[in-house]
């Protein structure tokens, strides 16, 4: 078994998406309410959808100025049909709007399922232009609810045990007078992650505080251990309370993070 990885967050507050002065455009968008801007609002209830199956197709980010340069080391996608339609994806970056300088952040791949996608890669340095490239002989128009790229936040190992597969089935169970189950109406299954980092130093607290300040109550991607469990990536939301008390004269803090999310 490989050495365990630390807990990581992938949130929109640590990406270039929606940065002041930037633009995000799609080379193809279906008629109706399918704006490319939906891919970074962190909601699963709306999405970008292409108008056709013509490839290659792109969703392109422009930082907007010579100073609008951004780095990235991950791509995360959820609520898509890329596996079903036979799509292949990669992320590209450029310094000249892809005129001559075109670089792949990683080798393109075809998702095996329509479940969440998380791809980490070596950060190439700050660039003004980035784009998601979709290729392949597609059987239908692609769509995505959430798609973000930016810089991951590596936290630490949790100091208290937790169950990464904790679930609560939200259901109405009907019982007869004799206690027999007569029917079950399942609404959805809720995941939970309850993380503790006791005696956390100022560097770890700064990461957590920055995540809270920039992402707030929005959904984000959380991975509890990417080295041995790379598929365990969940779209989560934090509890509304943020409280991490000082201890030992203010040198350290006990950090507690409660997360919930809908199981795919």
Taking only the tens place, the pLDDT of each residue in 208-234 is 999 999 999 999 999 999 999 999 999
The Cα–Cα gap between 16 and 13 comes to 8
**Sheet holding 74-80: strands in order across?**
48-49, 143-150, 74-80, 117-120
Residue 74: per-residue pLDDT: 98
Q: What is the pLDDT of residues 78-125, one digit of tens each?
A: 999 999 999 999 999 999 999 999 999 999 999 999 999 999 999 999
pLDDT surpassing 60 at residue 1: no
Whole-number pLDDT of residue 139: 98
Mean pLDDT over residues 176-193, rounded? 95
* CB count in 10 Å sphere of residue 29: 17
The structure tokens listed for 12 are 């929109």
Average pLDDT over residues 137-166: 98
The pLDDT value recorded for residue 67 is 76
Pairwise CA distance, residues 122 & 128, whole Å? 17
Burial 225-238 (b: 16+ CB within 10 A, else e): bbeeeeeebbbbbb
Contact 194, 258 (CB under 8 A): yes
C-alpha 77/C-alpha 118 separation (Å) is 7
Chain mean pLDDT for the chain: 96
232 backbone φψ class: left, alpha, beta (φ>0; ψ -120 to 50): beta
Strand partners, 169: 189
pLDDT digits (tens, 9 = 90+) for 6-20: 999 999 999 999 999
Instruction: Sketch out the chain's domains with CATH numbers.
Output: 8-154 (2.60.120.260), 167-262 (no CATH)
The predicted structure's pLDDT at residue 68? 87
Express each pLDDT in 41-70 by its tens digit: 999 999 999 999 999 999 999 999 867 899
Residues 170 and 134: their CA atoms lie apart, in Å, by 36
CA atoms within 13 A on the CB side of 135: 9
- For residue 260, the Cα-to-chain-centroid distance in whole angstroms is 14
User: What mean pLDDT is predicted for residues 129-143?
Assistant: 99
Q: Please, what is the end-to-end C-alpha distance for the chain in angstroms?
A: 27
Tokens of 107: 């080798």
pLDDT of residue 2: 66
Rounded-to-integer distance, Cα 86 and Cα 25, Å: 23
Rounded distance, CA 150 to CA 48, Å? 19
Query: Predicted confidence band at 249 (pLDDT cuts at 50, 70, 90)?
Result: confident
pLDDT at residue 197 in the model: 96
The two tokens of residue 32 are 């109706």
Q: Which two tokens stand for residue 164?
A: 């990464």
């Amino acid at each position: 078994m490989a050495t365990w990885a630390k807990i990581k967050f992938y949130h929109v507050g640590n990406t270039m998406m929606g940065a002041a002065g930037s633009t995000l455009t799609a080379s193809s968008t279906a008629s109706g309410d399918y704006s490319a801007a939906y891919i970074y609002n962190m909601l699963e209830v709306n999405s970008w959808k292409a108008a056709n199956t013509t490839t290659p197709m792109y969703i392109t980010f422009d930082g907007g100025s010579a100073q609008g340069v951004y780095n990235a080391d991950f791509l995360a996608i959820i609520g898509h049909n890329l596996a079903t339609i036979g799509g292949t994806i990669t992320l590209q970056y450029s310094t000249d709007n892809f005129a001559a300088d075109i670089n792949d952040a990683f080798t393109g791949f075809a998702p095996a399922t329509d479940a969440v996608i998380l791809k980490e890669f070596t950060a190439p340095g700050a660039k003004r232009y980035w784009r998601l490239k979709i290729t392949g002989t597609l059987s239908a128009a692609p769509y995505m609810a959430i798609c973000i790229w930016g810089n991951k936040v590596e936290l630490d190992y949790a100091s208290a045990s937790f169950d990464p597969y904790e679930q609560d089935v939200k259901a109405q169970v009907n019982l007869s007078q004799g206690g027999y189950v007569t029917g079950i109406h399942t609404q959805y299954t809720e995941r939970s992650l309850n993380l503790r980092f006791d005696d956390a130093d100022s560097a770890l607290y700064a990461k957590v505080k920055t995540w809270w300040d920039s992402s707030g109550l929005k959904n984000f991607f959380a991975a509890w251990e990417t080295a041995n469990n790379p598929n365990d990536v969940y779209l989560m939301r934090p509890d509304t309370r943020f409280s991490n008390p000082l201890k030992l004269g203010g040198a350290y803090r006990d950090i507690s993070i409660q997360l919930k999310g809908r199981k795919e």
